[in-house]
Chain A
């Protein structure tokens, strides 16, 4: 079982603690994405798994073995770096063979391995080229090839797509996903891009300020964020969050009342944060919902849909609406309808998600 287990992992630089005792269990063959804002500790965590950073305390277990003090080369992990880390003086084949030569693999075996992996990654025509003669996407593939030839137990990816343009990033994202499905190697992937996290992950780990905020499948996190941080981090645009007060049937936001499934008199009067996903509102009432009056600031057309920037009292919010090829009908929108079963509630003080009727 080549799973990865982190138990109470702490990283401190002197008195400054940057990772505060995180626990995470990555299953064999699982693709786990660590996501969070810059400085949240995700790359540090990955580097601790790789052995590039010392672990201050806690246990790191790979394949059932505690490897806190094991040298990086003996951890049987391969890492793909943000800037590819390709050796500029070596051609593609030699870059891919670097780790194998260090490990004194027989030449014939190295050649077979390189040829096989180059074939998988579509790099066969470029084996004699140096990194400077390759495009960004090709360099990225070489970086992955160098990791794959090692046949490691665990792949570690440190923001590998962040240097690519948007189009190439989408292509490479799909390639990484296909490759993972084909190779089935346990993978831990770090990114600050929530779209990458949502599309690639079997499970997402949302990190913030050195702590894990929530772990779950992409849809679990999207549909049931554990707190306001996760709610605001996943989703584009992020979830609208407005201060409100619970009533027997829902919550008041400004001078409007929003119906919420499960609301009862027991919670009435409680201060909450009401969360509404931009894509969950409709322009006309559909099923049980409540109308939220808005004053429209701006309409941003995106093609098939548009972003409506609006205000309700002091609350600024963004909603998504279908355009059907025309945005003229959106300029007169004065209210949106919020389905009662899709409204999320968070505690006003702690920011933790509230479950009504539980």
Chain B
């Protein structure tokens, strides 16, 4: 009986193996199983010591430890794909979003699980797909268009369907978890809190991959007014819970002859404070999408761009207008009330030895206020010429001018000119590259009506030498010297920087190991102070432990010694700090 059971189980096992083999290995018609992508862990350690220790004169600029885990395999089974996008850290302090660096304040509430999941520093995303259908779970970075949404990390769920030419997308999730206000007495600090923000978006359109797309985008963002129990109303106060609705229509096309184009028109309705009373006599509700109140406003935006790309030349023009109240939480930092246009081109000439890239554009700010419009000119040109196999020359010129009208006006004008000749020559044992970069920059700020002019005149010169030894191909090295000088007027400030730098690398092919090091020495002088000096040394190794596993490590030590610019007090005359940085990362690659 026992033997029969064993025989049956062996038979079943063989049958399963046979089926799996048939599924995974045989022919093109059967699904194929594979795993690609990578996973890894990285560590950054940072420490700083100062001398003297008090008074404080240097703030640590990195966290003491930063560990990040990466898990990004893509599991494929025929047309079914399961990509993971996990990238996370135990850090609980945000600097450009709530809680704005307050996370380490003594007594500040610890990050809860929801806050950790939706912390913008963490990504925990899954995107299983089968043929034209994709499900989006966890943290997603979804860009619909330039005027709707694309800047946010949102934790939630949704889908993207692409049957034939139809495009149907939906996603809903949390872009910001709530944080309660927190007032600290020692040290004195006030964190104003942040409401939970939910974003829901959808897109419907038609597309032929690589040829055209036309579709509507709808995005609704909403702050949960009940997510903060006791908002601060003094100075500073808790931002009001807001609401935002975006509707945009976008078209794109590309032709086989190189023509391309993009148009988008959008409208937004924004409510700055959903607790404000209503109704708004000047702005009706737009139900079922959004109800307005006295803090609501509505505005529009449009952009258009088209051009042609060729083998020897490109040309394109684009313009964008955003009304004074155009606002989308999907791009919450974007400056509105502006109009800008750009013309850009690239072409090869002189027997294809010369390459020219140029652009010119203007940007008008405060567009809705005709008498108060600001104006900015931006022009860039880069000309590269390969005269022969030994000598090349690159020249670039950048200009920008920013101006506001009227008696309270400002004028900022910047001019940058750069020239970079490079010459290389060979002998029987080595090749040599000598490169010189010179940059002249002038930046003037004029403030009216006093007509006060602050002028900056900068010059940068960099000389670099790179030898390559034919008989020692595993050695790489370079040497560079840089000189920078800036003169500011009318407050006489002369800043001079001298930098000497050299790097050396050695490759052990058998051990699949690369060693590298760099030494940098800086002297900085700001008149009338004595010079400050800085030495920075870096050593590192990139080691392929196996075909799939690599280990990268680098250590940097940075010693900075001030002149007398921090004095008084006298104890800070010659103050110095020492930074130590260690970076190490293990990375494993799946698949072949």
A, B: real partners: no
